[in-house]
Amino acid sequence: MLGRWWSSVGWVAVVWAAAFVGPCFAGDPFAYFDFDVSYITASPLGVPQQVTYSRLCLRLFSLHDGVLGTNCPIPQGWNWTYQFQVKDQIGSFFYFPSLGLQRAAGGYGGITVNNREVIAVPFGKPDGDITLFIGDWYIKSHKDLRKALDEGKDLGMPDGVLMNGKGPYRYNTTLVPDGIDYETINVEPGNC
């Protein structure tokens, strides 16, 4: 499966495949699977790639590309494929590049792990799992954002919000149809 994300710098592509593809539901028959992640031959964001799997413990592959300083990034123009099994961890996890604001350029995604039938969980099976990623969206490229941060500048207010890579969405009460109850919460900077 080829995942693509549009960003201010163009298309970002990451190739990934697993024993399951598509939404995950509690009644699905699979319980244990191999997960493959491959990068395309070029570094689409113009810098070496490095991916972090947040809180996810891997089996059969202990040398994965991790946080800068603990592992070397994937050099530009190189192919790299992760092949690993997930330990008996259930829940929702995510992956993202950990170098050079690549995450801001759209290189991220979700991984959902269900329990195996032989492992009981202390709660009822969920009806489904919906992965939702919300992030700031800037018109500037990830390279310009990084340069501003390196120079000690503030990034300022984002130009919008992305939800699952779509958007940008801006606050607009005219998008809420009449008759639907909703609440607006004002957040004051510095007041938690």
Domain ranges of the chain: 1-192
Q: What is the mean pLDDT of the chain?
A: 62
Residue 181: partners with Cβ closer than 8 Å, 6 or more residues away: none
pLDDT tens digits, one per residue of 57-82: 555 555 555 445 555 666 666 666 66
pLDDT tens digits, one per residue of 144-169: 888 898 899 988 878 887 777 777 66
Task: State the Cα–Cα distance between residues 84 and 86, nearest whole angstrom.
Answer: 7
Q: Report the top-level CATH class of 1-192.
A: mainly beta
Report the residue count for the chain.
Answer: 192
Task: State the Cα–Cα distance between residues 37 and 72, nearest whole angstrom.
Answer: 17
8 A C-beta contact, residue 85 and residue 56: no
pLDDT tier at 34, thresholds 50, 70, 90 = very low
The edge-to-edge listing of strands for the beta sheet with 91-97 is 51-53, 91-97, 109-113
Residue 57: partners with Cβ closer than 8 Å, 6 or more residues away: 86, 87, 89
